[in-house]
């Protein structure tokens, strides 16, 4: 029987992995840092480079304000106080945003780690299939075309595995950057994601009401109103020029209008996020149906192939369709989990990774 020469793809990707991730490289003596989500947030608040830069700016504004108090010039005191207050407000907002960003990056990194495991399993399965088909081809049980298809599957699985390794490495660098952690320091995430699917356990009206009380945009608008009311109270006296009081009243009216605008923004944000969850939920249900069909079809084809009714290629195509449906279902569940987490973020109640069982009913 004619023999074909099939390049050893396993050897190729082994060589590539050694080149890209040399196991023989000397590792640092430091033990990897361990981060829960709460640990990561605390670390980032102290070490994130943007936060550290903004703290220096706040310190500078505070020094200017203290010098103005010593000089005693009222206008200079007011100006430097406003600058100091604005800088502190900006820092507080940056810290709030950083917490949410850390939560997202932590989740994305865990997801990337789990996807690498999936790709490693897929590559191992493709390697086993190729080895089996090679033996079957040598025994004259399958065609050369079937073996070539198996070789192509192994090649594609190797590429997907390599791409996922690069994606995970990039996610780790991004996480280090957000934390303010040196790129050469290794770390371990101690929390895990509950990879499960279930209907969302919250109605739209409840989600909206929570967002209207807890979301950052609402809190910011309420804080602006409170500050404007404080200024009006200070200027509403016989010693303050009428023009200053009128300006303060206009600022208060403007703050109230901004609050109404913020409520509209929250409504649209929650609606968009909620409908995205519903859409992803429907998509998961569709993928479950498609996987059920592909699995049934593959079982039927196994029987037909054993009876000589269908060819090797037809059986192989049904197997690939089943595996593709399995991966599409996994991807759909990931998208659903991410959509639910984003909804809670919009609501102003970011979920801890360990609270994953609260995502679904």
User: Is 218's pLDDT higher than 60?
Assistant: yes
Assess whether pLDDT exceeds 80 at residue 37: yes
Rounded percentage of the chain residues whose pLDDT exceeds 70:
88
Indicate whether 187 and 230 sit together in one domain. Answer: no
Q: Are residues 178 and 109 in the same domain?
A: yes
* 26-30, 58-62, 107-111, 260-264: range with lowest mean pLDDT: 26-30
Show Cβ contacts of residue 220 under 8 Å, excluding neighbours closer than 6 positions. Answer: 93, 262
Task: Tell me which residue of 70, 252, 107, 81 sits closest to 194, measured CA to CA.
Answer: 107
The arithmetic mean of pLDDT across residues 125-131, rounded, is 93
Query: Per-residue pLDDT averaged across 149-174, rounded?
Result: 95
311 — pLDDT class (breaks 50, 70, 90): confident
Same domain, residue pair 350 and 214: yes
Q: How many CB atoms sit inside 10 A of residue 175's CB?
A: 21
Residues in the chain: 361
Q: Is residue 221 domain-shared with residue 337, that is, in the same domain? A: yes
**Does 259 share its domain with 332?**
yes
Q: Do 148 and 236 reside in the same domain of the chain?
A: no
Range of the domain at 358: 194-361
In the chain, how many domains are there? 2
pLDDT at residue number 143: 85
Instruction: Please report which confidence band the pLDDT of residue 26 belongs to, taking 50, 70 and 90 as the band edges.
Output: very low
Element (DSSP H or E) covering residue 21: none
Are 152 and 279 contained in the same domain?
A: no
Q: What is the mean pLDDT of the chain?
A: 86
Question: 270 and 343 in contact (C-beta within 8 Å)?
Answer: yes
Higher pLDDT among residues 240 and 356, named by residue: 240
Answer yes or no: are the C-beta atoms of 74 and 154 closer than 8 Å.
no
**Is 324 within the bounds of a domain?**
yes
Q: What is the mean predicted confidence (pLDDT) over 16-29?
A: 46
pLDDT digits (tens, 9 = 90+) for 326-336: 989 988 998 89
Q: Is the pLDDT at 353 greater than 70, yes or no?
A: no
Dmax over CA atoms of the chain, in Å, equals 108
Structure tokens at 258: 């901004």
**Same-domain check for residues 118 and 217:** no
Whether residues 184 and 209 share a domain: the answer is no
Residues 85 and 47 in one domain: yes
Q: Residues 6 or more apart from 228 whose CB is under 8 A from it? A: 248, 251, 252, 254, 255
Mean pLDDT of 145-170: 94
Structure token digits, residue 93: 């907002």
Using CA atoms, how far residue 27 sits from 8, 174, 183, 339, in Å, is 30, 21, 13, 38
- Domain annotation covers residue 154: yes
Task: Give the confidence band of 131 by pLDDT, cuts at 50, 70, 90.
Answer: very high
Element (DSSP H or E) covering residue 198: none
Q: Tell me the helix, strand and coil percentages in the chain, rounded to 5.
A: 80, 0, 20
Residue 27 domain flag:
no
For residue 195, pLDDT over 80 is answered with no
Token readout for 83 is: 């600058």
pLDDT at 29: 61
Q: Which of 42, 111, 35, 100 is nearest to 356 (CA)?
A: 111
Residues 169 and 282 in one domain: no
Last residue of a domain, one of 147, 163, 192: 192
The C-alpha atoms of residue 267 and residue 204 are separated, in whole angstroms, by 10
Work out the pLDDT band at 352, boundaries 50, 70, 90. low
CATH number of the domain bearing residue 202: 1.20.1600.10
Residue 130 placed within a domain: yes
Residue 349's pLDDT band (boundaries 50, 70, 90)? confident
Main-chain dihedrals φ then ψ at residue 191, nearest 5 degrees? -100, 160
pLDDT of 270 above 90: yes
Cβ neighbours for 168, distance < 8 A, ≥ 6 positions apart: 109, 112, 113, 115, 116
Element (H, E) at 129: helix 74-138
How many Cα neighbours within 13 Å face the side chain of 66?
6
Question: In which band, very low, low, confident or very high, does the pLDDT at 66 lie, cut at 50, 70 and 90?
Answer: very high
């Amino acid at each position: 029987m004619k023999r074909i020469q099939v390049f050893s793809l396993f050897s190729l990707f082994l060589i590539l992995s050694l080149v890209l991730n040399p196991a023989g490289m000397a590792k640092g003596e430091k033990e990897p840092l361990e981060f829960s989500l709460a640990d990561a947030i605390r670390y980032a608040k102290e070490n994130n480079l943007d936060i550290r830069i903004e703290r220096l700016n706040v310190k500078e504004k505070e020094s200017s304000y203290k010098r103005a108090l010593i000089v005693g010039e009222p206008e200079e005191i007011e100006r430097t106080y406003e600058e100091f207050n604005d800088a502190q407000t900006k820092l507080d907002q940056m810290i709030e945003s950083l917490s949410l960003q850390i939560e997202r990056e932590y989740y994305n990194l865990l997801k990337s780690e789990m996807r690498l495991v999936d790709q490693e399993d897929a590559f191992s399965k493709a390697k086993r299939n190729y080895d089996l088909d090679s033996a079957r081809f040598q025994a004259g049980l399958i065609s050369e075309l079937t073996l070539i298809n198996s070789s192509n599957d192994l090649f594609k699985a190797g590429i997907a595995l390599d791409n996922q390794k690069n994606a995970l490495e990039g996610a780790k660098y991004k996480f280090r950057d957000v934390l303010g952690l040196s790129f050469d320091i290794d770390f371990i995430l101690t929390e895990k994601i509950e990879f499960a699917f279930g209907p969302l356990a919250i109605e739209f009206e409840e989600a909206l009401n929570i967002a209207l009380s807890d979301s950052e945009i609402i809190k910011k608008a309420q804080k602006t109103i409170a500050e404007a009311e404080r200024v009006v109270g200070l200027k509403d006296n016989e010693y303050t020029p009428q023009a200053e009081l009128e300006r303060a009243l206009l600022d208060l009216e403007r703050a109230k209008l901004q609050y109404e605008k913020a409520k509209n923004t929250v409504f649209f944000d929650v609606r968009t996020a909620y409908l995205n969850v519903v859409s992803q939920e429907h998509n998961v249900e569709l993928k479950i149906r498609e996987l059920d069909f592909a699995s049934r079809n593959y079982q039927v084809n196994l029987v037909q192939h054993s009876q000589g009714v269908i060819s090797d290629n037809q059986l192989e195509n049904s197997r690939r369709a089943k595996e593709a449906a399995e991966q599409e279902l996994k991807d759909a569940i990931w998208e659903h989990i991410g959509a639910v987490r984003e909804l809670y973020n919009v609501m102003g109640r970011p979920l801890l990774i360990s609270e994953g069982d609260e995502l679904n009913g």
